[in-house]
Structures are given as structure tokens and as C-alpha cells.
Structure 1
Amino acid sequence: MKLSEKKRLQIVTAAESLFASQGVEATSMDQVSSLAEVSKRTVYNHFATKAELFQAVLEAMFAKVDQGKQFQFTSDCSIESQLMEIAAQEVELLTSPAFLKIAKVAFMQMLQDANLANSLNGQSVGCLRFFEQFLSDAVKAEVLTVDDVSLAAKQFVYQLKSLLFYPLLYGISSKDETQC
């Protein structure tokens, strides 16, 4: 790894730690440079703005998250067992420390920046990467009857989020208490 790449990684790692502990708005570029053990000039050579640094931090954090495999509907297994397997994988994602850390950092910033909320809302994460196609294939195979596949996919994930993810994110419960 080149020295420049190493310094960039140090900056992103330091910013991730600071953003998670005190939020993006409360974190200064001076704090990032100090924790990363690089000059402020080096930070700005890599990231012209804190917004650019924040984007790099989110990308680095998402790269660490295991989103699991993408399922394809098959008529060889019951729809119930396939949906349970997808749900179990989604629960693993939603309750993972890495995903919860991303959510904490992103949620705090979304309250400050509506554009971020819009850009993150357009991303497909976890089973939403494939679930609409899965449901469409199950409907075509006449195993499910679904009028609005997009809505059904979101409802599936949102139910898991409301029962498991949000209580963990907000500190209302622990992972042990949320397991089904």
C-alpha cells in the first residue's frame, strides 16, 4: 500500500470513529487530523470538504458489512422456508454491530441534511437488493398472490426493522432481547 493510500485509510478510520462517537457536525477536521496522526493539510488533500469525507466514511463502512447472499425463488423449496431463510439473513444484517454503527452515523447526519436522507433512501441494502425479483418470480409461479410487489418487499423489511433494528439502534433493547 502506498503512503498516500495508507494516510487516506488513517483519515477515514479516524473520521469513522469520531463520527460514530460524537456525530459529523460536532467533529472538526482538526480532530480528524489529530486522531489520524496526519496534518490538516493532508486531510484536505484527500478530502476537500467534510461532506466528501463523510461520503468516504459511509462507503468504507458499507464495504465492511456482510449483506449476505442474494436469493432467487425456487419451486424446489417451500415458499415459507425460503422466506424464513431470507428473514434470518436480514435479521443478521440489521442486528450486526457494523450495520448498527453505520445507521447511527447516518441517522445523526440525516437529521441535519435532507439530501443525505434522499440519497440513502434510494439505496438497496440487504434483501432489498433482490427481494422484489424474488417475490415477482414467486407470483409468476403462482406460489404467492401479491398486488404490489414493491410495497410487499418494503413491508417485509420494515416489519423486521420495527421489531429488531430500531429498538437496538435507539438503545431500547439489547440484541439478546430482540432475538425472535
Structure 2
Amino acid sequence: MTLSEKKRLQIIASAEALFASSGLEATSMDQIAAHAGVSKRTVYNHFATKTELFAAILEAMFSKVDQGPLITYDAARPVDQQLTDIARQEVAMLASPAFLQVARVAFLQLLKDAALAQAINKPSMGCLRYLEPFLKEAVADKALDITDSELAAKQFVFQLKSLIFYPLLYSLSDDMSQHEYFIEETVKLFMARYRPLA
């Protein structure tokens, strides 16, 4: 690792600590430079704005989130069992401390800063990396009857988010005892909508 790369990581770590304690707006680039033990010019050489720096922090945090392996459709297994596996993997990510930390750090700032939202407009995370192709393969195998795989994938994930992720994000509930029940009900609802007619 070069000296420049080490300084970049120092800046990101210092900014993350300061943003977490004081917020983005209340933290100056001077404070970040002092905390990181580098010059203000060095900070600006790596990050032209605080928005760029904040985006880099979120990227670093996202990289620590365990998204689980890609799951491919298996014609030899019942599709509802496979969807249950996918839902469990998604819930493990959504309820993980690493993912919740990213969401809590980012949420309010993203509402205020459209440029930041564009800067970290990530490719799909979690099961959305592979769920649409999975569903298309299940349709081709006549295990599901779906005309809009993109919408169906979002319906599946957003149901889990509404029942599990958002209550955790907003500290409305920290009860994880019902997660398996929510997973089972989400799969049942999905299958009721997309099971092929006999």
C-alpha cells in the first residue's frame, strides 16, 4: 500500500468518526485533516468536497456488509423452499449491525443531499443482485407465473424490508423472534400471487 493510499484510509476513518459524533454539516475539512494527522491540502487532493468524502465512507461501510452468496435456480428443488432460503439470506443482511449502521449514517443525509444519493447510487445489493434472473429461470421451468420479474423481485424484497428492516432502522422494534414467521408469510404471499394456475 502506498503512502497516498494509507493517508486516504486515515482520512476516511477520521471523517467516519467525526461524522458519527458530530454530523456531516458540523464537521469541517480542517477538523478532518487534524484528526487524520494530514494537511488540509492532502484531504482536498483525495476528496474535493465533503459529499465526495461521505460517499467514500459509505462505500467503505458497504464493503463490510456480508451480502451472502449468489443463489441460482435449482429445478430439482421446490421453488418455495428456494425462495425461503433467499429470504433468510436477505434478512440476515438487512438485520446485520453492519448494514443497519450504513443505513443509519446515510439516511438523513441522503434526504438532504440529492447529489450524494446519485454519488452512491449502488448496483443492487443482497438478493436483488440475482433474484430477477432466478425468477426468470423459475418462470421458464413453469414453477412460477410472472410477467414482470423486476417488479416481482422488488415486491419480494420490499415486503421483507417493511416487516423487518424498517422497524430495526427506526428502532421501533428489536425483536428478532418473529423474523422466521415474517419470512414464511412473505414466501406464502409471493407464491399465492405467482404460483402457476393448474
CA positional deviation for 1:146: 1.4
Letter in 1 for 2:17: S
Deviations 1:34-81 (A, max 9, x none): 332323222122212112211211221111111111111111111111
Match for 1:106: what amino acid?
A: A
TM-score by length of structure 1 reads 0.90
Q: Does the 8 Å contact 2:14/2:32 carry over to 1?
A: yes
Taking the aligned partners of 1:15 and 1:178, their CA distance within structure 2 comes to 37
TM-score, normalising length from structure 2? 0.82
Please tell me the root mean square deviation across aligned C-alpha atoms, in Å. 1.9
Residue pair 1:20, 1:104 contacting (<8 A) in 2 also: no
- Aligned residue identity for 1:62: F
Identity %: 59
Segments of structure 2 that go 5 or more residues without pairing to the other structure are 181-198
Aligned residues: 180
Does residue 104 (structure 1) correspond to residue 104 (structure 2)? The answer is: yes
Shift of 1:2: 2.4
After superposition, residues 1-180 of structure 1 pair within 5 angstroms as: 1-118=1-118, 120=120, 123-174=123-174, 176=176, 179-180=179-180
Q: Which amino acid aligns with 2:42?
A: T
Q: Distance in 2 between matches of 1:26 and 1:179?
A: 38
Structure with larger Rg: 2
Q: Mean Cα displacement is larger for which, 53-62 or 21-30?
A: 21-30
Mapped to 2, the partners of 1:52 and 1:63 lie a distance apart of: 17
Are the equivalent residues in 2 in contact too, given 1:135–1:149 (CA < 8 A)?
A: yes
- Mind listing any 5+ residue stretches in structure 1 that lack a counterpart? none
Structure 2: how far apart are the matches of 1:173 and 1:22?
A: 26
Letter in 1 for 2:24: V
- Displacement after TM superposition at 1:23 (Å): 3.1
Cα separation, partners in 2 of 1:83 and 1:162, compared to 1, 3 Å: same
Greater Cα offset, 132-141 or 165-174: 165-174
3-state SS, counterpart of residue 105 of structure 1: helix
